[in-house]
Chain A
Amino acid sequence: MAEKIKNDRLSSAVCFVLMLVMVAGALLNGAGKAYAQKRTAVDQAWKECVASVQERTETAYNLLTVAGRYLSPEDADYAKVAEDLKSLQNAESTGSCVSVTVFKADATALLTKLAAMENVKKDSRDSMYVTQMLPQAVEQCSGIEAISAYNTAADNYNSSLNSFSGFLAGLAGVTRATVFSEN
């Protein structure tokens, strides 16, 4: 009789523990799923942020391709844009890059120098690049809006992780979003 009661209690305890595990699993699963959905919005904003950085990166590369035919890498204006390009290329790993304002100023200075060079003026192709196509590309470079939108989404997401459900989501493997910076 005592043995039966002991076994029943053991079974009840096992069932209780199993129930707790299942409830905890359901909570973690639910929290993880909820935050995965929130994360999708952040990831979408990140894609736009990346596209904005990519636009600047390609413009810097194309500008340096043309400038490289006329100026040495030691030229001060060339070197500034080259430094900007390096910053943009490393943006995803460092979480920061040169700002649109600084890039536009550096690119415009280089374009102005190129446009004034006699051998550029004599070259109809490069003259078109330097006076028309590249200035338009530089002017069209955006970034502040996309990066601000991403940082806002990332901040909101990170703040929501400070709640109890966020704590549970953290246990389920959900991580915080990195905030991007321009300098």
Chain B
Amino acid sequence: MKHRLTALLLAIMLILSVACGAFAVSYPQQRGNVNDDAAVLSGSTVADIGSLNTKVKNALGLNFVVVTRHFLGGAEAQSYCSGLFRDWNLDSNTILLLLVIGEEKYAVTTGSNVKKYISDEQINSLLSSKLRALYIEKRDYSGAVGNFLLALTAQAAATSGKKIETGGLFGTTAHSTGSSGADAFLGWTGNWAEGFFSNNSYDTTSYGANTSR
């Protein structure tokens, strides 16, 4: 009887594991601090994110990771962002910014140590004031990312009482539409699957930031 019960339990576990596998969320592989799957960020922006990351890491120990996707296939942006944070094993000092270009959505997930420098409310406020208009209305994706990261850095530096020199970074794209703006889509020759598919959950999306751990 014990064996049959064990067999029954094993069968139930097998069925559950198969069922869970069927709905498993799949995430892309992480490729450094900038994962521009939608190919909307300019080369100089990618380089500046790297430079800013080094400065912020040295001064505060924080780390930026930026991800762009065309669509999430029905996944909710904030859930996807938090899932990505966990899937990539990002540490408690990381700030993950996700832009979903085709859906005009964005989300931020932060590690628990980030709260020492900047709260979720402050991040939400910066998303509204520094990122949203450039991202949604002007479609200046590089400008939006640069503007947001610079403001976030300034806020975190002010909280810590440290000075971080950011002069020259994002200078050419912060407030203007450049090659990374809407015209980046003209003559598109990319791989259609890049940043196109994501996972299989369907619900509504909200903008904003949340803390992952």
* B contact residues vs A (CB 8 Å cutoff): 3-4, 7-8, 11, 14, 18, 21-22, 70-71, 73-74, 101-103, 139, 182-183, 185-186, 188, 192-193, 196-198, 200, 202
Could you tell me the distance between the alpha carbons of A132 and B196 in the complex, rounded to whole angstroms? 12
Q: How far is the CA of A79 from the CA of B13 in the complex (A)?
A: 40
Q: Which of B7, B73, B101 is in CB contact (< 8 Å) with A58?
A: B73
Contact B185 A124 (CB under 8 A): yes
Mask of A148-160 contacts with B, CB within 8 angstroms, 1/0 = 0000000000000
State in angstroms the CA–CA spacing of A36 and B15 once bound together: 10
Contact B182 A62 (CB under 8 A): no
B196 close to A125 (CB less than 8 A): no
Judged by a CB distance under 8 angstroms, whether A28 is at the interface is yes
Contact between A57 and B200 (Cβ–Cβ < 8 Å)? yes
Q: How large is the interface on A (under 10, 10 to 19, 20 to 34, 35 or more residues)?
A: 35 or more
Task: Tell me whether A62 and B3 are in contact (CB under 8 A).
Answer: no
Report how far A139 CA is from B21 CA in the complex, Å. 26
Kindly state the separation between the CA atoms of A28 and B101 in the bound complex, as whole angstroms.
56
Inter-chain CA distance A66–B21, complex, in Å, is: 30
Judging by beta carbons under 8 Å apart, are B4 and A133 in contact? no
Cα of A32 to Cα of B182 in the assembled complex, Å: 59
Could you list 16 examples of A-B contacts with CB < 8 Å? A32-B11, A36-B14, A39-B14, A50-B22, A55-B197, A57-B74, A58-B74, A58-B197, A62-B196, A127-B185, A133-B192, A137-B192, A137-B193, A137-B196, A140-B193, A173-B8
| Residues of chain B contacted by A66 (CB below 8 angstroms) | 102
Say yes or no: A54-B185 contact (C-beta < 8 A), given A32-B7, A62-B71, A133-B192. Answer: no
Query: A65, B14: Cβ atoms under 8 Å?
Result: no
A residues apposed to B, CB below 8 Å:
25, 28-29, 32, 36, 39, 43, 46-47, 50, 54-55, 57-59, 61-62, 65-66, 89, 92, 123-125, 127-129, 132-133, 136-137, 140, 172-174
B71 — nearest CB in chain A belongs to which residue? A62
Establish whether residues A124 and B186, one from each chain, have CB atoms under 8 Å apart when the complex forms: yes
Contact of A172 (CB < 8 Å), options: B4, B74, B196: B4
Distance (Å) between the CB of B179 and the closest chain A CB?
Answer: 12
In the complex, A174 Cα to B198 Cα: how many Å?
34
The answer to whether B192 and A89 have CB atoms under 8 Å apart is: no
